């Protein structure tokens, strides 16, 4: 669908409409026509004589059938529609092979730099003082540039969670920035302003900071520390070999738990270094419709669970994150199938925790998703501006998800801690 054509159609219906009203109606027509896979012209028959207010009300009712009556007017977010075809995600399957590799002078002799030189002999290698701007102007081309650097400041921090949400006391180390998977909901699309993959070569400095860290244990028996905020924890592990240093480090510190969060099956390093009770390897899991259609380039659910079984056999504990849960027609039976597949496959006594969180995103991310993945279905649900300024399903819809999933998970995996991620404290309390 073309934005200019949509504007033309709305103007035909309401010729004297101003720019703000035009923006709102174009947005509504676009979202309805996309979700219902219909010709947008059918939504605005020219012969029907209606005012702007009447047209808007009619379209809002159709776009938000479950929440139109209960949502406050200012919860509907109707920004300008800007579909830029040059920003579409490139979903052509390809191996990770950067065209240009920048290595910061301070780490040019590091083990990681040596491995990268051996892995990508055809890449153009450049040494940099770390001040030069690297990367593409287009997020979709971020994997063309790899930057091996020395991290100086951003080692450890408490998880920022989401403003006003109930935190779980998580702690983060930033081992990498950028990912080669293309999950349609990934917040990096909007957050990452340096369009490259950044990997720190000074893992030993991270471990020095960790060794003297003071951590909050939150909801859990021991503090949890993880590395999967700005990248997938294992997607580059064959290259970085961070697992080779992290696992022995945490093996000596059983008072803490470390979590690798991944969708990958890149577990060779973990198997090589051997299992460890206080290292939890967590997979993001979802209905097959989401893993197959919205998490591009990632291994499917069966492959993720097979990898989980292997690391459990090696002595690691497991974690799973049903995040983001997406509501669509028939979503419940699909999620039941995923849980059944987990129950049929996994050793239940090895599962340390399972989190559940519904799809949420910032306003800016919504626009990124629709321009990068114009055929997405994940935005077709009824998202409203919510307590933390993010777009979420309304409280009733989220509670429906949790009332369905949380008891089912607790019944299926009775030894496992099941908790909600980034939720309104009032909603979280009712599922503790």
Interface positions with ligand SF4 (CB under 6 A): 179, 181-183, 186, 188, 231-232, 263
Beta carbon of residue 181, minimum distance to ligand SF4 (angstroms, whole number): 4
Cβ distance to ligand SF4 smaller for residue 52 or 297? 297
Cβ distance to ligand SF4 smaller for residue 112 or 294? 294
Cβ distance to ligand SF4 smaller for residue 40 or 324? 324
Separation CA 215–CA 205 (nearest Å): 18
Beta carbon of residue 131, minimum distance to ligand SF4 (angstroms, whole number): 26
Cβ distance to ligand SF4 smaller for residue 59 or 197? 197
Beta carbon of residue 11, minimum distance to ligand SF4 (angstroms, whole number): 38
Cβ distance to ligand SF4 smaller for residue 191 or 387? 191
| Residue 196 to residues 146, 209, 234, 298, 368, Cα–Cα distance (Å) | 6, 26, 17, 19, 17
Beta carbon of residue 393, minimum distance to ligand SF4 (angstroms, whole number): 19
Beta carbon of residue 272, minimum distance to ligand SF4 (angstroms, whole number): 23
Cβ distance to ligand SF4 smaller for residue 235 or 270? 235
Task: Give bridge partners of residue 409 from the DSSP assignment.
Answer: none
Torsion of CA 111, 232, 299, 415, to 10 degrees: 120
Separation CA 264–CA 254 (nearest Å): 26
> Prior bond to 324 cis, omega within 30?
yes
Beta carbon of residue 182, minimum distance to ligand SF4 (angstroms, whole number): 6
Beta carbon of residue 331, minimum distance to ligand SF4 (angstroms, whole number): 19
Beta carbon of residue 179, minimum distance to ligand SF4 (angstroms, whole number): 3
Cβ distance to ligand SF4 smaller for residue 110 or 192? 192
Separation CA 343–CA 245 (nearest Å): 32
How many other CB atoms are found less than 10 A from the CB of residue 272?
12
CA angle 377, 78, 322 (to 5 degrees): 35
CA-closest candidate to residue 274, choices 247, 310, 239: 247
Sign of CA dihedral 232, 233, 234, 240: positive
The residues, any chain, with a CB within 8 Å of residue 160's CB and separated by 6 or more, are none
Cβ distance to ligand SF4 smaller for residue 323 or 382? 323
CA-closest candidate to residue 229, choices 389, 370, 422, 95: 422
| Residue 90 to residues 183, 292, 304, Cα–Cα distance (Å) | 12, 16, 24
């Amino acid at each position: 669908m073309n934005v200019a054509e949509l504007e033309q159609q709305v103007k035909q219906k309401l010729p004297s409409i101003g720019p703000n009203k035009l923006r709102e109606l174009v947005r509504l027509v676009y979202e309805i026509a996309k979700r219902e896979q219909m010709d947008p012209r059918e939504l605005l028959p020219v012969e029907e004589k209606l005012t702007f207010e009447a047209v808007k009300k009619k379209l809002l009712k159709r776009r938000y059938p479950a929440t139109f009556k209960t949502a406050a007017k200012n919860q509907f977010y109707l920004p300008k529609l800007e579909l830029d075809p040059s920003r579409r995600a490139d979903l052509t399957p390809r191996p990770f092979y950067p065209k240009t590799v920048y290595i910061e002078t301070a780490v040019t002799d590091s083990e990681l730099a040596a491995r990268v030189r051996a892995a990508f002999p055809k890449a153009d290698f450049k040494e940099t003082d770390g001040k030069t701007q690297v990367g593409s102007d287009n997020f979709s081309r971020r994997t063309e540039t790899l930057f091996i650097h020395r991290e100086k400041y951003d080692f450890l921090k408490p998880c920022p969670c989401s403003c006003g949400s109930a935190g779980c006391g998580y702690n983060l180390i930033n081992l990498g920035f950028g990912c080669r998977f293309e999950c349609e909901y990934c917040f990096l699309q909007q957050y990452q302003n340096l369009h490259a993959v950044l990997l720190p070569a000074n893992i030993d400095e991270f471990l020095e900071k960790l060794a003297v860290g003071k951590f909050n244990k939150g909801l859990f028996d021991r503090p949890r520390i993880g590395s999967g905020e700005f990248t997938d924890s294992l997607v580059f592990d064959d290259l970085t070999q961070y697992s080779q240093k992290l696992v022995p480090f945490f093996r000596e510190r059983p008072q803490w738990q470390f979590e690798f969060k991944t969708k990958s099956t890149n577990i060779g390093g973990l198997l090589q270094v051997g299992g460890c009770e206080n290292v939890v390897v967590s997979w993001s899991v979802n209905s097959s419709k989401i893993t197959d259609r919205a998490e591009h380039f990632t291994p499917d659910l069966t492959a993720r669970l097979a990898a989980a079984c292997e690391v459990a056999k090696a002595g690691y504990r497991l974690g799973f994150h049903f995040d983001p849960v997406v509501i669509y027609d028939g979503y419940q039976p699909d999620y039941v199938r995923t849980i059944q597949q987990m129950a049929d496959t996994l050793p239940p006594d090895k599962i340390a925790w399972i989190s559940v969180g519904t799809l949420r995103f910032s306003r800016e991310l919504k626009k990124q998703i629709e321009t990068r993945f114009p055929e997405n279905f994940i935005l077709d649900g009824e998202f409203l501006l919510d307590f933390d300024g993010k777009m979420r399903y309304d409280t009733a819809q989220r509670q429906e998800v949790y009332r369905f999933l949380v008891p089912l998970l607790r019944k299926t995996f009775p030894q496992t801690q099941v908790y909600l991620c980034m939720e309104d404290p009032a909603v979280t309390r009712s599922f503790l």
